[in-house]
Amino acid sequence: MDAAELLLWARGPGLLLAVGIFLFGMLLKLAEILLLGRERNLAPVRASGVGAGFRTVFRRSFSMDRSSLKTSLFVHLAGYAFHLGLLAAIFLYTPHVQLFGALTGLTWPALPSPVVDLLTVIALVSLMALLWHRLTTPVLRLISTGQDYLAWALSFFPLLTGYMAYHHLWFDYDWLLAIHILSAELLLVFFPFTKLSHAVTLFMARWYNGMMAGQRGVQS
């Protein structure tokens, strides 16, 4: 198989397979969670939890506990840097915007490529730092499972291969592009079945947390 064939497979059947599995898995995951059900609250509430739920969905992205911020400044900084870099690389890079446009019919403005490039470097460096942190911190060593490292690798490789393809590093561009697309497809395929899906389910988690606290009159 040559690069062109691999690339064509990645852009064609591979992509469709990955998108299909991703959608299948996500619907499965969401249904598994939502259909489980929960008990209705019978205690008279101080306020409807709905608004509080949505507030928490939004605010948890920014609200930080002062004490933890002091003790884990590194995780906060690296975590933000990685997530922002990853999101920018995925959603604000021109070729990707084009891809989402073709898949969904929606387009939005992209960032200049060198800016995405810089953010990608930041994300890569943060990810490596976070891996080092995971491997050396007692708490993280204790609670980390194989899935955490799998999720790390699945996030790291599309970024790395994308960066290499953009800069034509070490290998032919066609190979890099093909491998980059395949690595992103691997990410899509694993997404619903690993904790990568937190990117979607965290909105539910925050909503339930905020809603239940909100009913008690607490801004969570």
Partner 1 sequence: MSGASLERGLQALREQMDTPVAAFFSSCVHCGLCAEACLFYTETGDPRYTPIHKLEPMRRLWEQEYTLPGRLKKALGLARPVTDEELEAWRPLVYDACTLCGRCSLVCPVGNDLVYMIRKFREGMAAAGHAPEGLIGATTRAVKTGSPMGVTLKALQAQARHVEQETGLEIPFDREGAEYLVLMSSMEVINYPEYLAAITRIFHRAGKSWTISSEAFEATNSGIQIGVSDIAAELVQRVVDAAEKLKVKTVVSPECGHAYMALRWEGPNLVGRSFGFEVKHILEVLDELRREGCLPLEGQETVRMTFHDPCQLVRRGGVVEPPRNLLRTVAAEFVEMNDHGTTNWCCGAGGGVSANEEADELRLKAFHRKKRQLEEIGAEALVTACANCRIQLEEGLEANEMEIPVIGLTELLADHLAAAEQESGESS
Partner 2 sequence: MKKDAPLIELLREYGVSRRGFLKFCSITASLMALPPTMAPAIARALEQARRPSVIWLSFQECTGCTESLTRSHSPTVEGLILDVVSLDYHHTLQAASGTAAEEAREIAMKENWGKYLLVVDGSIPLGNPGFSTIAGIPNVEMLKEVAEGAAAIIAVGTCAAYGGLPHAAPNPTGAVPVAEIVKEKPVVNVPGCPPIPVVITGVLAHFLTFGRLPELDGLGRPLAFYGNSIHDRCYRRPFYERGQFAETFDDEGARKGWCLFRLGCKGPITRNACATTKWNNGTSFPIESGHGCLGCSEPDFWDMGGFYNAVSEPAMESGTAVAWGLAGGALAGAAAGLLNRRERKAARASHQRVTVDDLKREE
Nearer to partner 2, 116 or 160 (CB): 116
- Using CB atoms within 10 A of its CB, is residue 37 exposed (0-12), middle (13-18) or buried (19+)? exposed
37 binds partner 2 (CB under 8 A): yes
Nearest to 74 by CA among 152, 144, 129: 129
Positive or negative: CA dihedral 72, 74, 205, 219 = positive
Query: Contact, 182 vs 173, CB < 8 A?
Result: no
Residues that bind partner 2 (rule: CB under 8 A) add up to a total of: 49
- Cα–Cα distance measured from residue 195 to residue 110, given in angstroms and rounded to the nearest whole number: 28
Which of partner 2, partner 1, none does residue 80 bind (CB under 5 to 8 Å by kind)?
Answer: none
Structure tokens at 47: 């306020």
Report, in Å, the least distance between residue 174 CB and partner 2. Answer: 6
Structure tokens at 96: 């990707």
Q: Which of helix, strand or coil describes residue 220? A: coil
Report, in Å, the least distance between residue 53 CB and partner 2. Answer: 21
Amino acid at 176: L
105 binds partner 2 (CB under 8 A): no
Out of 59, 76, 83, 96, which residue is the one contacting partner 2 (CB under 8 A)?
96
Q: Which of helix, strand or coil describes residue 24? A: helix
111 binds partner 2 (CB under 8 A): yes
- Cα–Cα distance measured from residue 157 to residue 105, given in angstroms and rounded to the nearest whole number: 27
34 binds partner 2 (CB under 8 A): yes
* List of residues 6+ apart from 19 with CB closer than 8 A: 103, 188
- CA distances to 33, 51, 63, 199, 209 from 204, rounded to whole Å, are 10, 14, 17, 10, 8
Kindly list the residues in this chain that would bind partner 1 in the complex (CB under 8 A): 28-29, 32-34, 36-39, 41-44, 46, 56-57, 60, 64-68, 71-72, 75, 79, 137-145, 148, 151, 193, 195, 197-198, 201-202, 204-210, 212-213, 216-220
Nearer to partner 1, 17 or 200 (CB): 200
Nearer to partner 2, 20 or 217 (CB): 20
Nearer to partner 2, 6 or 154 (CB): 6
4 binds partner 2 (CB under 8 A): yes
| Residues 129 to 168 in contact with partner 2, rule: CB under 8 A | 168
Binding site for partner 2 (CB under 8 A): 2-5, 7-8, 11-13, 15-17, 19-37, 94-96, 98-99, 101-103, 110-114, 168, 172-174, 177
